[in-house]
Copies of this chain bind each other. A is one copy, B any other.
Amino acid sequence: MSRSLGALLRPRSIALIGATERSIWSNAAHRNLTSFGYSGKVYLVNRNAGSVYGQPVYVSASAIGEPVDLALLMVPVAGVLEALDDLQAAGIANAVMLTSGFAELGEEGAKLQAALHERAAAHGIALLGPNCLGFINYIDKAPVWTLAPRPQGHFGSLAIISQSGATAALISYFAQQQGLALSYLVSTGNEVDVDIAQVLDFMVDEPNTKAIALFIETVRDANAFARAAERALAAGKPVVVLKVGASEITAKAAQAHTGALVGDDRVFEAACRRLGLIRVASIEDLVVTCDLLQQLGEVGEGGLGLVSLSGGICEIAADRASHVGLPLAELSSNTVQRLRDALPGFGTPHNPLDVTGGAMLKPEIFEKSIHGLGQEPNIAAVVTVFDVPTDESNDGEFARNALAHIGNALREIPVPGLVISHSVRPVTERSREIIHQAGIAYLGCGVDFGMAALSRLFAWSARRRKGIATKETVTQANVRPDSERSTLAYLASHAVPVVPAQLVHSAVEAVDAARRIGESVALKVASRNIAHKTDIGGVKLNVLGDQAVAQAFLSISESVRQARPDAEVEGLVVSPMRGKGVELFVGTLRDAQWGPVLVVGLGGIWVEALQDTSLRLLPVKAEDVLEQLSELRASKLLDGFRGAPAVDRQALAEIIAKIGNAALALGPELVSLEINPLWSDGERIEALDALAIWDSKPEGEAL
């Protein structure tokens, strides 16, 4: 897993196995090597001998007789195993396999794929594919790619990694149309060996790559993927992910109650939140977000400052910013004064800032205004909306002049500055020349995609500032609580406040305990064998008075005896009743791929009927839980409702984080830990009930 992909992705010599002029794939691969000016040696292999592309072929790889770094396998599916044997004989340790007809065809294909995996492993061959289109290393001018790529004059800083080959190509076309040059384009196909996590890991260390775009259908190795993503976040290298499957109503058989609330996609979303992966939903979003992050880097705390020549655009941008949760900075009075000086008489100092049509006459208004705005301490970045010309039809003197002024100001202000276009438009060679002249960062993405990408930049920067809670801080517990009582006691040992409870064994003891509590009490049967106490009459709530308490004790004891004569009963638990307050649901579940997940929701109807929950991978920090609380649709209810006091969100978040970490400490055999409810009445917070569910057959997980 820790092997380097350098020999695969930076080959000094390449053999095309199955080279033939009758295949469009072979033709493309060969043409690309020529048109890129690949400087290494290229060998053509075809078992039929003769010559291809005017060059003599070898009948096998082993016939080459020289060391070769990489083979591109374009052989029929029936010949793939034999081809690997040939590579081994030739001493070729890296291969890309175009051939399809494996797991994507079902059962039979999956068997063949397993055999392929085994053979490659036995031969120690690093294999990209099968069912992939290969890769292009733009830096070393090494294309091992079986489609015709668009011309790209120089290498860039965007790496695209995609499980789908065609989609990889389509992403690259849009990136190049938007003036964004690539460093690498890698399609991983069926990932029998090299997977997206390994390529991601490689790109984290690839010095020319500043942003990484991923297209994912499935994550095969969540552990490795998470490690690579964490490294990328630590390195400040943004990873933007387009993952499909958000619409699948995945009916997942979950052992614990919370499982039913959670689709796979929500867990992946939770993983993204934890790992600082930036998730997007379209090719344009993917490319634009990468472009923004690689151009602007990280931003500090604060809001956006926005400048436009059009009041209408200011309004559209403000609406879009609000829609995606991107804050526009409030201006302090100093800034307002500076802007008053910069603007024409009929301009209004405001953010977003309309520099008015006056800037058509005097483009220096742009410069002064941006300068004034950029000094505002509440502002983390300044965006000016302006179109960079694409060709002679729109390349006028005004645009070049205005961009020069905009560029002057954006370079001088103390925060990152950027120009974005009004709507989506290409970034042509001519645009690049103008951009260079003006010395600006520019995105031809339009206000709609732009505001969305900026919101992600702000969120990613915040994630970087906050850091990730690490699993190393969690010490494994040596207990296995399996009843309400023992689970609450375990939580209490992790500094989670729990409702007081006394174990009683007789009606007399129960009355005694209730008297000491001095208010209405709850009585519940205590038994590790009984998970659903209410269903069998094992619970009585709101019990007040000696007689009622004694009756409740007897009634519960009798019900339990009849319903579960087999159960080992410790006794009954007597606790004070808690009043109205807010009831939260806090649970953990174990995702087969991603491991333990924390689920937070408001109790009862919200969780059960409306599935209003927020998920995070464990471990979490209190800051993460604060975010979760704010994501709930019913979040407002925490701020006090119908005279109920507001909940102390900070205290609540800290307690929930403790619950999450307590669950994590129970190890991989814990299926779920459920606190329902976690009750809160203003500042008082208590776990009222808890349930731990265990599995005796733990699966391998990301712990």
Contacts and interface: CB of A to CB of B under 8 A. Distances in A.
A609 B636 contact: yes
B104 A346 contact: yes
A393 B446 contact: no
Contacts of A642: 605, 608-609
A651 interface: no
Interface residues of A, number: 69
A284 B151 contact: no
A315 B245 contact: yes
A360 B169 CA distance: 14
Interface string A51-95: 000000000000000000000000000000000000000000000
A605 B310 contact: no
A323 interface: yes
Nearest to A612: B633
A322 to B, nearest CB: 3
A636 B606 CA distance: 11
A316 B283 contact: yes
Interface string A605-623: 1001110000000000000
Given A283-B446, A284-B448, A312-B162, A393 B150 contact: yes
Interface in A332-381: 346, 357, 360-361
A423 B284 contact: yes
Contact of A322 (B215, B247, B309, B320): B247
Contacts of A693: none
A318 B150 contact: no
Contacts of A422: 170, 173-174, 283
Contacts of A425: 174, 177, 426
A450 to B, nearest CB: 10
Nearest to A314: B244
Contacts of A215: 312
A502 interface: no
A99 to B, nearest CB: 12
B346 A244 contact: no
Given A101-B346, A634-B610, A174 B283 contact: no
Contacts of A318: 244, 247
Interface string A173-201: 11001000000000000000000000000
A361 B244 CA distance: 27
Contact of A24 (B312, B360, B387, B393): B360
A448 B282 contact: yes
B609 A641 contact: yes
A164 B354 CA distance: 12
Given A312-B217, A636-B609, A151 B423 contact: no
A105 B446 contact: no
Contacts of A173: 387, 394, 422-423
B167 A312 contact: yes
B282 A446 contact: yes
A319 B281 contact: yes
Interface of A: 24, 100-101, 104-105, 148, 150-151, 162-164, 166-167, 170, 173-174, 177, 215, 217, 242, 244-247, 281-285, 287, 309-313, 315-316, 318-323, 346, 357, 360-361, 387, 393-394, 396, 422-426, 446-448, 605, 608-610, 633-634, 636-637, 641-642
17 contacts: A24-B361, A101-B346, A162-B312, A164-B310, A170-B310, A173-B422, A174-B424, A217-B315, A245-B315, A246-B322, A246-B323, A247-B319, A282-B320, A283-B447, A605-B642, A610-B633, A610-B637
Closest 3 CB pairs of A and B: A167-B312, A164-B312, A247-B322
